Amino acid sequence: MGFVLKLEQPMGPNATWLEVGPSDDEFTTLVLYSKSAMEQQKPSAVAHPSILFSTTDIESAYEKMKQNGVEVEEILRMPFGTMFTFKDQDGNDYLLREDT
């Protein structure tokens, strides 16, 4: 599909965070991960597509989404990144992570 590798970093034992995007200049990225890793983390999420968005200011995005009535979960600060899950009006889960 012509995507370029945007980021590759360790995500714990035997796991890698891999991001691809349309070009080096585009901010939009797709995160690729193994389905078995997701099944271990959150089995119910595997039945649906996972979509991840990136931001450069997660605190501001979190507060703005809360103020706008978006259902958000707590911010997670993991060794491999900071992120939180939010739901759309239909109850679908998405993830927003900070791109540092």
Res 45: pLDDT? 63
In order along its 100 residues, the chain shows pLDDT tens digits of 578 999 898 887 887 888 888 888 887 787 776 667 767 777 776 665 567 888 889 999 999 999 999 999 999 998 888 999 999 887 878 899 998 7
Res 72: pLDDT? 96
Rounded distance between C-alpha atoms, residue 26 and residue 52, angstroms: 15
Rounded distance between C-alpha atoms, residue 58 and residue 38, angstroms: 22
Res 58: pLDDT? 95
DSSP bridge partners of 17:
9
Res 10: pLDDT? 86
Domains defined along the chain, listed by start: 4-98 (3.10.180)
Of 88, 57, 100, give the one whose Cα is nearest residue 75.
57
For the entire predicted model, the pTM comes to 0.60
Rounded distance between C-alpha atoms, residue 93 and residue 86, angstroms: 6
